[in-house]
Structure 1
Amino acid sequence: MATLSPRLRANLLLLLAAFIWGFSFVAQRTGMAHLGPFAFNAVRFLLGGLVLLPLMGLFDRQRQRVGLAVVPLRDRRLLRGGAVVGLLLFGGATLQQAGIVFTTAGKAGFITSLYVVLVPLLGLLVGHRPSAAVWVGAVLAAAGLYFLTIEGAFGMAWGDLLVLVGAFVWAIHFLVLGHFSPQTDTIKLSFLQFMVCAALSAVAALLFETSAIADFRAALIPILYSGILSVGLGYTLQVVALGNARPADAAILLSLEAVFAVFAGWLLLGEQLTSRAFLGCVLMLAGILISQLFGEAEAQGSRGAGEQG
C-alpha cells in the first residue's frame, strides 16, 4: 500500500484542522443558548488544555531522546509568556463568544479570519514593513467586510462589531505569541495560555453570570466539540502539520476555516447569505489569500536579498 508523502499528509491535517475550526463556530453559537460566554469559554479552554497534557509528555520524551533540554512548567519566561498570551486569548475569545450570539456562524468565521490580514498591518507598530500584496489584500478584505456587515446608511450589527474588535485582539495575540514562542516550549506555552484563559473566564463567570449544572449539561455537546476538538485537537493538528507543510499550502488550507464556517452555518443552523454578503465573503477570502500567498513570497524574496521582512 502506497504511503502518503509528508507534504500531502501535512496538508490533509491542516484541511482537517480548518474543517474542525469552521464547524466550531456552530458549536460556539449553539452553546450560547444555554451558557454565558464566560462559563462556556472557561470549560472549553480547560478541556483544551487537558488534551495537551499527553502531547506535552510526548514532546518532552522526544527532546530527552535527542539530548535537548526540557523546559519545566515553572520556567519564568514560560510563565510570563503564558500569562501575557493567556490574557490576550481571554480578550479575543470573550469578544468572539459574546458577539456570535448576535450574528451568524458564517459571518463570525469570516470576520474573525481578518486577523490574518491585520497581523502584518499591526506589525507597523513594531517597525515591520508590510509588502504591497499585504496592502492589496487589506483593501480587498476591508471592502469585503463592508459588503458582509454594513447595514443601512453605515451601520454595523452589534454582534459583527464585537467579533471585529475580537479580530484585532486575535491579531495582537498572534504577534505576542510569535514573540514568546521561539524563546520557549510552544506546547507548554499553549497549555499555559489555555489555563490562564480558563481561569480568567471562570472568575468572570462567577462574578457576572449565573449558571446551573443543568445549563452545562444542556451545552455538553457544543462544549466537548469546542474544547476537545477545536481547542485541543485543532491546535495539535496544526503544530504537527506545520513542520512539513509549505507556507503557501498552509495559507490556502487554513483560510478555508471561514468557508467551512459558512457551510456549517447553512447545513446545521439553516443560515443564509444574501448576494451582498456572499460578495463580501468572496472579497474577504481573496484579500486573505493575496495577503498570505503573495505577501509571503515577497517577504521571502526580501529576506533572500539581505533585507528584514
Structure 2
Amino acid sequence: MNSRILRADILLFLTAAIWGFAFVAQRMGMDHVGPLTFNGVRFALGALALAPLILCMEKRRAPDFAGSDRNRLAKGGTLLGVILFIGATLQQVGMAGPQLAALGFEASTAGKAGFITGLYVVFVPLFGLLLAQRPGWGTWLGASLAVVGMYLLSVTSGLSIAFGDLLILIGALFWAGHVLLIGRLSPGMDAVDAIKLSTVQFAACAVLSLIGAVATEEITLVGLRSAALPIAYGGLMSVGVAYTLQVVAQRDAQPSHAAIILSLEAVFAAVGGWLLLGELLSVRALIGCALMLVGMVISQLKP
C-alpha cells in the first residue's frame, strides 16, 4: 500500500475514534449544563482552535493567490451554521438524560446516538434524488439494511421509540442536508478557504446556541467548571483536532474510502459508551448496529 494512503487511513481512523468518543463527552456534559450551553461553548472553542491553523496555512499560500470571495464565505458559512445549529441541538437534546427525564422522556445513549447519527451517510445519496441524481443499487441496499438495523436498535417490541432516539434521527436528516450544502459551496476552494468556511459555521452555530442558552437555560460557573473536560474534548478534540486530521487525510484518500473509515465513529461511540458510561446493548440492538454499519459501508462502496 502507498505510504501516503496508509498515513491517510491512519489519520481518518484517529478522526473516527475522536468523533466516536465525543458522543460520550456530549452525554457526560449533560449532567452539569444544558444542551445549548454545551454546544455554544464547545463550538466557540472549536472555532478558536482552527484560527491558528488558518494563520499557519495563510503564510504558506502563494502571495498572488486571490482565494475565495469573502462575501461567499460569510454567507455560506452562516447558512451552514444555521443547519449545523439545528442538527447539533437535536442531537444534544436527544442525549440530555437529566433534562429529558425531568420531562418524562427517555434519552438516547452515546452508542445509539452514534449509530443513528451515522445514518446521514445513507440519507445523503437519497436526498440526491431531489437534485436529479440517481443513486446506484448499493445506496438502496444500504438504506434498506440501515432501516432494518434502526428498527432493531431503537424500536421496542411495543412499537415505541425513545424520544431521544427520534430527535437524533431527525437531526441526522439535517446532517445530510449539511453535507449536501457543503458540496454546493466548497468546489473551487483550497484547503485554507475550506477551513475558513468551517470556522464561520462553527462561530455561527456557537452564537445561535449561546443565544438560545441565555434565553432558556440557567448558565452557572459551577456547571461550566464541572463540564469543563467534556466541553474541552467536544470543542478542541472533536472540532479542532479531528477536523484538521480529516482535512490533511482527505488530500490523499478517496472520498468513498474516507467515508467508510469515518463511519466507524459509530462503533467507537458504542465502545466508548460501554467503557466509560457502562452502557450495554441487547443482542437485538447489537444486530441492529451491525446491520446499520454494513448498510453505511455498502452505500459508500456502491453509491
TM-score range, shorter chain: over 0.9
- Structure 2 Cα separation of the partners of residues 253 and 172 of structure 1: 21
- Structure 2 Cα separation of the partners of residues 163 and 135 of structure 1: 22
> Match for 2:239 among 213, 220, 231?
231
**2:283 paired with 1:285:** no
**2:52 paired with 1:44:** no
Q: Which residue of 1 aligns with 2:170?
A: 165
> Match for 2:79 among 40, 62, 84?
84
Cα offset for 1:145?
A: 0.3
> Match for 2:120 among 107, 110, 115?
115
**2:65 paired with 1:68:** yes
Superposition misfits of 4+ residues, deviation over 4 angstroms: none
Contact 1:113–1:167 (Cα < 8 Å) also in 2: yes
- Structure 2 Cα separation of the partners of residues 218 and 190 of structure 1: 28
SS in 1 for 2:32: coil
Cα shift readout 1:230-274 (whole Å, capped 9, x = no counterpart)? 011111110110001133431331111000000000000011010
SS in 2 for 1:271: coil
Q: Give aligned pairs, total.
A: 289
Q: Which residue of 1 aligns with 2:187?
A: 182
SS in 2 for 1:155: coil
Cα offset for 1:22?
A: 0.5
Which runs of 5 or more residues in structure 1 are unaligned?
A: 296-309
Q: Which residue of 1 aligns with 2:222?
A: 214
Cα shift readout 1:153-179 (whole Å, capped 9, x = no counterpart)? 321100000000000010011111111
- Structure 2 Cα separation of the partners of residues 178 and 148 of structure 1: 30
- Structure 1 Cα separation of the partners of residues 241 and 183 of structure 2: 21
- Structure 2 Cα separation of the partners of residues 28 and 86 of structure 1: 19
- Structure 1 Cα separation of the partners of residues 180 and 279 of structure 2: 33
- Structure 2 Cα separation of the partners of residues 129 and 152 of structure 1: 35
TM-score by length of 1: 0.91
Contact 1:83–1:193 (Cα < 8 Å) also in 2: yes
SS in 2 for 1:33: coil
Q: Root-mean-square deviation (CA), in Å?
A: 1.3
The one-letter code of the counterpart of 1:129 is R
- Structure 1 Cα separation of the partners of residues 131 and 257 of structure 2: 27
Which runs of 5 or more residues in structure 2 are unaligned?
A: 97-106
- Structure 2 Cα separation of the partners of residues 202 and 246 of structure 1: 37
- Structure 2 Cα separation of the partners of residues 248 and 125 of structure 1: 21
Contact 1:63–1:70 (Cα < 8 Å) also in 2: no
Cα offset for 1:46?
A: 0.4
- Structure 1 Cα separation of the partners of residues 68 and 135 of structure 2: 34
Cα offset for 1:207?
A: 0.5
Alignment of 1:13-162 (within 5 A): 13-64=11-62, 67-71=64-68, 75-101=70-96, 102-162=107-167
> Match for 1:269 among 266, 272, 277?
277
